[in-house]
Chain A
Amino acid sequence: MASMVEIEKELEEDFALFDDWEGKYDYLIGLGKDLPLIDDKYKTDEYIVRGCQSRVWLHAANNGDFVFYSADSDAIITKGLVALLVKVLNGQKAEEIAHADLSFIDRIGLKEHLSPNRSNGLVSMIKQMKLYALALTKH
């Protein structure tokens, strides 16, 4: 399993191939297609991430110390954003996820999604993923 930093680096390199926003967004949308999809039975209000303008469902499970996420969204850019996070965090140790820095998002040119503006859900997604990881470390 590659480390978070390694995966982030790889993503940074991938995104650096595009010098305009269109390429970056096309690529992001493409990432959404590889997202491990959440089981339909979890597509309920209970698994919705609050604070997103689109609907995002997120589920986490663990295998020992390691956390595995699945998710979905009704907006495809949002789906790409979750996929980006899942790519980095999936299969990592709960402890490490809880403290993950994730500033690579800024570096790959998606800074606008990190603004505290309520309509941007990325911050809420990160928070929810960390919360799941924290909950799993407590068990």
Chain B
Amino acid sequence: MVTTKEISTSLSASVDWKKVREDFPILKREVNGKPLVYLDNAASSQKPKQVIDAIVHYYSHYNANVHRGVHTLSQEGTHAFEASRLLVKEFINASKTEEVIFTKGTTGAINLLAYSWGRKYIQEGDEILISQLEHHSNIVPWQMLCEGKKATLKIVPINEKGELIWDKFLQLLSDKTKLISVAHISNALGPVNPVKNIIQEAHQRNILVHIDGAQAAPHQKIDVQDMDCDFYTFSGHKMCGPTGIGILYGKEKWLEEMPPFEGGGEMIKTVSFEKTIYNDLPFKFEAGTPHIEGAIVLGDAIKYLTGIGLENISKREHELLHLATKELNSLDGIRLIGTAAEKSSVLSFLVGDIHPFDMGTILDKMGVAVRTGHHCCQPLMAWFDIPGTVRASFSFYNNENDIDRLIEAVKKAIKMLS
């Protein structure tokens, strides 16, 4: 008999990354007369033809509204929609499909949480704990909630490497703390936060934990039961899926207690002018016609990723990260921002006193797409006292040649800009 471990190691050796890259038609295009080098994966990933074809297939074969019609199209559409929910459930190892809510993205999911859970459970004087590393999407909804409720947002500080300071985190926990909401992986700098330890400490004090998984779900195996988080959120477009679709995972017991966020069709059982009975999970949180194509095709993206294997993806991306880090570090004047011991495939850097905008402009001219600026993390940039960074973020479909092209472009930019 073959064990799962044996299968996964044999797979890792056998992934043909060159062939995988062929799946992404956009990587064949040119930018400014040069073959595109796409290193802005943390902002949004590219899509393989399997996903692109699935979008066409959906609209060509079973486009109709879901959960409504008795006609065949609607039934087939509904079936595909719910099959995708099942794929998501398995992808993150949730215990039930009822715990998987389709949203429009991580931002949509966090806002749902802040409005629904937050409005019900946060009282005056309560505290919500986030970190210095958070994306604006995991700051502003909590800020808005706290303002309305006269609650306080507390910030876990980080060290120079971009890691959360554990002692400070523990000190910030109190009986006023009602929720901890932190990124699994920081989009701006790439450190992987010790979410399992955070959740353990929180649960010992009856504090709930939301993990913003936008940057983790595309790159590593997620197991919400093993992690034991109360809520987990992520976006389809960062994991080879369509834009406009994302997931809120929540433990069933919390989702059951939470009031609906939006009212409308789909989320009701019966409506009369006197009283409306809300629908069961997960539909209670999915008012209106959902992004059907997005939800279904997210399932195809998951099939694509799991077909390669998340462990293989992780391994490949770490290879690329290490190579790129080594190469970049060999250049004069390079300053890597975020050098945490455990990191995902994000390289944020500055060179001498070259402004990230200048660097990004020259890199674009060289056909290399990176992100420059604050990466929706202004408080983090303020902490480092920098205007922003240049961020190259790698995906499994990048290759060694992309890294060579990046280094060549950075060298050229240094020459032109200093």
Asked if B373 and A119 sit within 8 Å, CB to CB, the answer is: yes
Q: Would A25 and B416 be within 8 Å (CB), given that A74-B387, A76-B355 are in contact?
A: yes
**Does B417 lie at the interface of the complex (its beta carbon under 8 Å from any beta carbon of A)?**
yes
Asked if B362 and A53 sit within 8 Å, CB to CB, the answer is: no
Q: Would A77 and B358 be within 8 Å (CB), given that A53-B372, A54-B387 are in contact?
A: yes
B387 contacts across to A, CB distance below 8 A: 54-55, 74
Q: How far is the CA of A55 from the CA of B32 in the complex (A)?
A: 26
What's the tally of chain B residues with a CB closer than 8 Å to chain A?
15
A22 contacts across to B, CB distance below 8 A: 365, 416
B388 contacts across to A, CB distance below 8 A: 53
B74-115 vs A, CB cutoff 8 Å, 1 = contact: the mask equals: 000000000000000000000000000000000000000000
Asked if A119 and B365 sit within 8 Å, CB to CB, the answer is: no
Nearest residue, chain B, Cβ from A113 = B361
Nearest residue, chain A, Cβ from B372 = A53
Q: How far is the CA of A27 from the CA of B356 in the complex (A)?
A: 20
B356 contacts across to A, CB distance below 8 A: 53
- Name B342-364 residues within 8 Å CB distance of A: 355-358, 361-362, 364
Count class of interface residues, chain A: 10 to 19
A4-38 vs B, CB cutoff 8 Å, 1 = contact: the mask equals: 00000000000000000110011001000000000
Q: How many inter-chain residue pairs (CB < 8 Å) link A and B?
A: 41
A54 contacts across to B, CB distance below 8 A: 355, 357-358, 387
Q: Would A29 and B416 be within 8 Å (CB), given that A53-B373, A53-B388, A54-B387 are in contact?
A: yes
**Does A78 lie at the interface of the complex (its beta carbon under 8 Å from any beta carbon of B)?**
yes
- Residue in A21, A25, A26, A74 whose beta carbon sits within 8 Å of that of B355 in the complex: A74
- Name B374-395 residues within 8 Å CB distance of A: 387-388
A135 contacts across to B, CB distance below 8 A: none
B362 contacts across to A, CB distance below 8 A: 25, 77
B364 contacts across to A, CB distance below 8 A: 112
Nearest residue, chain B, Cβ from A52 = B357
A81 to chain B, nearest CB (A): 10
Q: How far is the CA of A131 from the CA of B199 in the complex (A)?
A: 52
Nearest residue, chain B, Cβ from A55 = B387
Q: How far is the CA of A78 from the CA of B361 in the complex (A)?
A: 10
- Residue in B357, B365, B417 whose beta carbon sits within 8 Å of that of A53 in the complex: B357
- Name A86-139 residues within 8 Å CB distance of B: 112, 119
B380 to chain A, nearest CB (A): 16
**Does A75 lie at the interface of the complex (its beta carbon under 8 Å from any beta carbon of B)?**
yes
B374 to chain A, nearest CB (A): 8
Asked if B357 and A78 sit within 8 Å, CB to CB, the answer is: yes
- Residue in A21, A26, A77, A112 whose beta carbon sits within 8 Å of that of B357 in the complex: A77
Asked if B357 and A119 sit within 8 Å, CB to CB, the answer is: yes
Asked if A25 and B357 sit within 8 Å, CB to CB, the answer is: no
B357 contacts across to A, CB distance below 8 A: 53-54, 75, 77-78, 119
Q: How far is the CA of A104 from the CA of B417 in the complex (A)?
A: 24
B416 to chain A, nearest CB (A): 7
B387 to chain A, nearest CB (A): 7
A74 contacts across to B, CB distance below 8 A: 355, 387
Q: How far is the CA of A78 from the CA of B362 in the complex (A)?
A: 12
A83 to chain B, nearest CB (A): 14
Interface CB pairs A-B, < 8 A, 21: A21-B32, A22-B365, A22-B416, A25-B362, A26-B416, A29-B417, A53-B356, A53-B357, A53-B372, A53-B373, A54-B357, A55-B387, A74-B355, A74-B387, A75-B355, A76-B355, A77-B357, A77-B358, A77-B417, A78-B358, A119-B373
Which residues on B are within 8 Å of A, measured CB to CB? 32, 355-358, 361-362, 364-365, 372-373, 387-388, 416-417
4 new A-B pairs (CB below 8 Å) besides A77-B357, A119-B373? A55-B387, A74-B387, A76-B358, A78-B358
State the 4 A-B residue pairs at the shortest beta-carbon distance, nearest first. A75-B355, A54-B357, A53-B357, A75-B357
